[in-house]
């Protein structure tokens, strides 16, 4: 029996600007459960029974842990598997067992040691992945919402859910007609141990291992990734902090690249007055032929899929503004683009898993004429985004943003909804979180 993996779109819950409990910029000490108390980072590994204490979590990891408690900044994958025969629950569990053995981050959770949060690694032979097979007909959208609302209260950092769709369920892709049994797989991971890139690699490897289990192949449990401290990143961030402190003009420029104004959509459609702000998930399936034509056009114009899709979003926002009666000569549209900080690291192993995502804020000014010449605008946007990557601007924005943020430990996460759109193809995944949504 073989499996067919459909393109994997990533769904996200409300996205907040990066924030963290207040520490001096560049300070890598960790916070106790009480945000005002601090201890020095202990550079040693301790063992206790079947748990290996790794190291106290840093400021950024703690900020993720705090907002996850409120069900936000959760990253989720929803993918559909098609198979020739019924999938056995024990086969899926076996594949996840090997996935966990090959990737230490899947054995990592967060625990209080005294009153300090630590990363710890559980024994790979005894620790089970949080996996549940749900009843056929369970709504994937509602299950995603439940997983977001629950967060990670029990210290577990990875969760997997499988929902049988039934043999008669409609197929979204004609090429899977010989794979009649369909299953929705939902995967979520704690952002302190996994970012979108790490999660996409785990989704791909999970399917490969499931095929190996079904076909009775020998599986080598040799590690395919590492979970390490982010010391090199901290060094770079400390250097950038000093750079911004020594160069006020550069600091001012970096702040100008980040949006401060009211989002366009809120000008046309004011925020509703409700007691509790929530964000729901919307998913759309793009036809395979349309996707291939879009990719071909991107290549012919020298534009990345990410830049082109960002241009699509921006022009759509302009069209929506015009339909709502807001007519201007030009529109200022701000968006956050997710970048992997691994591109800036030299000593960190390429197979490192963890929270290496950072937001690259970008402000685009789109005129009515540009909106009518899409590919010219997409090329301009593509150039702007590339230039920002090569100049370490995403990291500069991150440190400037952290310096201006309140103490998250005291104030709690802000209820400001964000919509994160993701495009996925069999070979690429790109994400963009518009500030204007």
Strand order in the sheet with 51-56: 46-48, 51-56, 116-122, 108-113
pTM of the model: 0.76
Please indicate, yes or no, whether residues 192 and 52 belong to a single structural domain of this protein: yes
Is residue 424 assigned to a domain? Answer: yes
Classify residue 397 by burial, with Cβ atoms within 10 Å: 0-12, 13-18, 19+: buried
**Rounded Cα–Cα distance for residues 397 and 253 (Å):** 10
Give the tokens for residue 304: 């990345």
Please indicate, yes or no, whether residues 317 and 193 belong to a single structural domain of this protein: no
Give the residue ranges of DSSP H helices in 69-107: 89-102
Please indicate, yes or no, whether residues 167 and 248 belong to a single structural domain of this protein: no
CATH code, domain carrying 77 = 3.30.559.10
**Rounded Cα–Cα distance for residues 384 and 365 (Å):** 12
Give the tokens for residue 358: 């950072």
Say how many Å lie between the first and final Cα of the chain, rounded. 43
pLDDT tens-digit profile of 28-72? 333 333 333 333 333 334 445 578 999 998 888 888 888 888 778
Which of 152, 185, 214 terminates a domain? The answer is: 214
Is residue 150 assigned to a domain? Answer: yes
- pLDDT above 50: residue 9: no
Is residue 224 assigned to a domain? Answer: no
Lowest mean pLDDT among 38-42, 143-147, 207-211: 38-42
Please indicate, yes or no, whether residues 202 and 251 belong to a single structural domain of this protein: no
Handedness of CA 95, 96, 101, 102 (dihedral sign): positive
Please indicate, yes or no, whether residues 159 and 275 belong to a single structural domain of this protein: no
Lowest mean pLDDT among 154-168, 283-297, 415-429: 415-429
**Rounded Cα–Cα distance for residues 395 and 401 (Å):** 10
Is residue 225 assigned to a domain? Answer: no
Q: Which residue bears the tokens 């950072």?
A: 358
Please indicate, yes or no, whether residues 25 and 97 belong to a single structural domain of this protein: yes
* Stronger pLDDT, 422 or 155, i.e. the higher one: 155
Q: pLDDT band at residue 124, thresholds of 50, 70 and 90?
A: low
**Rounded Cα–Cα distance for residues 64 and 175 (Å):** 40
Q: Which residue bears the tokens 């993996």?
A: 5
Give backbone dihedrals phi and psi of 141, rounded to 5 degrees, phi first.
Answer: -60, -45
Please indicate, yes or no, whether residues 240 and 371 belong to a single structural domain of this protein: yes
Give the residue ranges of DSSP H helices in 87-195: 89-102, 140-150
Please indicate, yes or no, whether residues 240 and 137 belong to a single structural domain of this protein: no
DSSP calls for 14-38: -----------TT---EEBSSTT-E
- pLDDT above 70: residue 277: yes
> How many domains, the chain?
2
Is residue 219 assigned to a domain? Answer: no
pLDDT tens-digit profile of 371-392? 789 999 999 999 999 988 888 9
**Rounded Cα–Cα distance for residues 413 and 15 (Å):** 10
Give the tokens for residue 15: 């996205």
**Rounded Cα–Cα distance for residues 91 and 110 (Å):** 28
Query: What's the domain range around 375?
Result: 231-434
Please indicate, yes or no, whether residues 177 and 238 belong to a single structural domain of this protein: no
Please indicate, yes or no, whether residues 137 and 22 belong to a single structural domain of this protein: yes
Output b/e per residue, 115-130; b: 16+ Cβ within 10 A: ebbbbbbbebeebebe
CATH code, domain carrying 349 = 3.30.559
* Rg, Å, the chain Cα set: 22
Which of 179, 214, 249 terminates a domain? The answer is: 214
Is residue 7 assigned to a domain? Answer: yes
pLDDT tens-digit profile of 338-354? 999 999 999 999 899 98
| Residues 6 or more apart whose Cβ sits within 8 Å of residue 326 | 264, 267, 268
Widest pairwise Cα distance in the chain: 67
Give the tokens for residue 121: 């690694």
Which of 154, 187, 214 terminates a domain? The answer is: 214
Please indicate, yes or no, whether residues 199 and 343 belong to a single structural domain of this protein: no
């Amino acid at each position: 029996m073989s499996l067919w993996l459909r393109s994997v779109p990533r769904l996200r819950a409300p996205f907040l600007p990066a924030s963290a409990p207040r520490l001096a910029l560049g300070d890598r000490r960790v916070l106790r459960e009480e945000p005002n108390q601090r201890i020095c980072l202990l550079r040693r590994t301790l063992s206790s029974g079947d748990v290996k204490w790794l190291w106290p979590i840093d400021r950024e990891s703690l900020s993720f842990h705090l907002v996850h408690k409120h069900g936000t900044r959760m990253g989720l994958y929803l993918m559909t598997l098609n198979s020739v025969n019924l999938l056995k629950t024990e086969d899926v569990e076996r594949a996840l067992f090997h996935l966990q053995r090959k990737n230490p981050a899947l054995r990592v959770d967060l625990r209080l040691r005294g009153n300090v949060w630590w990363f710890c690694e559980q024994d790979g032979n005894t620790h089970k992945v949080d996996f549940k097979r749900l009843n056929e007909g369970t709504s994937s959208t509602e299950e995603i919402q439940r997983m977001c609302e629950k967060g990670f209260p029990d210290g577990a950092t990875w969760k997997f859910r499988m929902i049988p769709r039934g043999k008669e369920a409609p197929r979204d892709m004609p090429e899977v007609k010989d794979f009649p049994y369909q299953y929705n797989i939902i995967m979520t991971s704690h952002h302190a141990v996994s970012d979108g890139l790490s999660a996409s690699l785990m989704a791909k490897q999970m399917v490969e291992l499931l095929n190996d289990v079904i076909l009775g192949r020998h599986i080598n449990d040799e590690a395919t990734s590492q979970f390490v401290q982010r010391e090199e990143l901290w060094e770079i961030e400390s250097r950038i902090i000093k750079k911004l402190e020594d160069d006020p003009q550069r600091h001012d420029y970096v702040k100008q690249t980040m949006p401060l104004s009211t989002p366009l959509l809120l000008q046309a459609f004011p925020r509703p007055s409700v007691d509790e702000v929530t964000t729901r998930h919307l998913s759309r399936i793009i036809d395979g032929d349309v996707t291939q034509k879009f990719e071909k056009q991107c290549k012919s114009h020298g534009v990345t899929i990410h830049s082109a899709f960002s241009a699509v979003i921006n022009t759509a926002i302009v069209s929506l503004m015009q339909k709502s009666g807001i007519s201007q000569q030009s529109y200022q549209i701000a968006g956050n683009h997710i970048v992997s900080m691994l591109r800036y690291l030299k000593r960190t192993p390429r197979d490192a898993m963890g929270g290496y995502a950072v937001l690259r804020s970008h402000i685009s000014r789109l005129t009515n004429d540009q909106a009518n010449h899409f590919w010219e605008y997409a090329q301009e946007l593509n150039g702007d985004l590339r230039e920002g990557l090569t100049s370490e601007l995403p990291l500069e924005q991150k440190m400037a943003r952290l310096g201006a943020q309140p103490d998250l430990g005291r104030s709690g996460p802000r209820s400001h909804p964000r919509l994160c759109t993701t495009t996925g193809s069999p070979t690429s995944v790109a994400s963009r979180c518009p500030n204007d949504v």
